Amino acid sequence: MRFMSSMTPLLTLCVNIGMVLVIWAGGLQAINGELSLGQIVAFINYLISTMTPLIMMTQLSNTWAAGLASAKRVGEILDTEPAIRDAPHARPTLPGPGAGVGMDDVGFVYAGDGNEPVLSNITLEACPGETIAILGATGAGKSTLINLIPRFYDVTTGRVTFGGADLREVTQDALFAAVGVVPQESLLFSGTVRDNIRYGRPEASEAEVIAAARAAQADGFIQNLSQGYDTRVEERGSNFSGGQKQRIAIARALLVQPRILILDDSTSSVDVETETKIQDALEASNGERITFVVAQRISTVLKADKIVVIERGRIAAQGTHRELLATSPIYQEIYDSQLGGGERLAAEAGAQA
343 within a domain of the structure (yes/no) = no
Is the domain of 68 the same as that of 140?
A: no
Mean pLDDT confidence for 311-338? 85
Is the domain of 114 the same as that of 71?
A: no
More confident residue, 296 or 177: 177
pLDDT, tens digit, 9 for 90 and up, residues 65-98: 888 989 999 999 999 888 888 888 888 888 887 7
- In percent, the amount of the chain with pLDDT more than 70 equals 95
pLDDT of residue 114: 64
CA atoms 111, 113, 115, 119: torsion sign? negative
Is the domain of 222 the same as that of 148?
A: yes
226 within a domain of the structure (yes/no) = yes
The Cα 68–Cα 53 span in angstroms is 22
Is pLDDT above 50 for 343?
Answer: no
Burial 255-267 (b: 16+ CB within 10 A, else e): bbbbbbbbbbbbb
pLDDT-derived band at 209 (thresholds 50, 70, 90) equals very high
pLDDT of residue 186: 83
pLDDT of residue 235: 84
pLDDT of residue 292: 92
Domain that holds residue 155: 101-319
pLDDT of residue 104: 92
pLDDT, tens digit, 9 for 90 and up, residues 176-204: 888 988 888 888 888 899 999 999 889 99
The Cα 179–Cα 253 span in angstroms is 9
**Mean pLDDT (the chain, rounded):** 84
Is the domain of 239 the same as that of 306?
A: yes
Mean pLDDT confidence for 300-322? 87
Is pLDDT above 80 for 340?
Answer: no
C-beta separation of 26 from 40 below 8 A: yes
334 within a domain of the structure (yes/no) = no
Is the domain of 142 the same as that of 69?
A: no
More confident residue, 299 or 164: 164
346 within a domain of the structure (yes/no) = no
- In percent, the amount of the chain with pLDDT more than 90 equals 19
pLDDT of residue 352: 45
Count of domains in the chain? 2
Closest CA to 261 of 230, 237, 235, 282: 282
pLDDT of residue 21: 86
C-beta separation of 260 from 179 below 8 A: yes
223 within a domain of the structure (yes/no) = yes
Is the domain of 125 the same as that of 10?
A: no
pLDDT-derived band at 58 (thresholds 50, 70, 90) equals confident
Is the domain of 67 the same as that of 165?
A: no
The Cα 345–Cα 349 span in angstroms is 6
Is the domain of 51 the same as that of 135?
A: no
Least confident range of 32-46, 296-310, 330-344: 330-344
348 within a domain of the structure (yes/no) = no
Which of 49, 79, 109 terminates a domain? The answer is 79
Mean pLDDT confidence for 321-338? 84
pLDDT of residue 213: 92
pLDDT of residue 45: 84
Mean pLDDT confidence for 100-129? 86
Is the domain of 253 the same as that of 291?
A: yes
Least confident range of 252-256, 312-316, 348-352: 348-352
Is the domain of 286 the same as that of 149?
A: yes
Mean pLDDT confidence for 208-217? 91
Is the domain of 155 the same as that of 276?
A: yes
Contacts of residue 100, Cβ cutoff 8 Å, sequence gap at least 6 = 125, 126, 127, 128, 130, 162, 163, 290
232 within a domain of the structure (yes/no) = yes
- Indicate the pTM of the whole model: 0.73
DSSP designation for 27: H
Q: What is the CATH number of the domain that holds 116?
A: 3.40.50.300
Is the domain of 37 the same as that of 118?
A: no
139 within a domain of the structure (yes/no) = yes
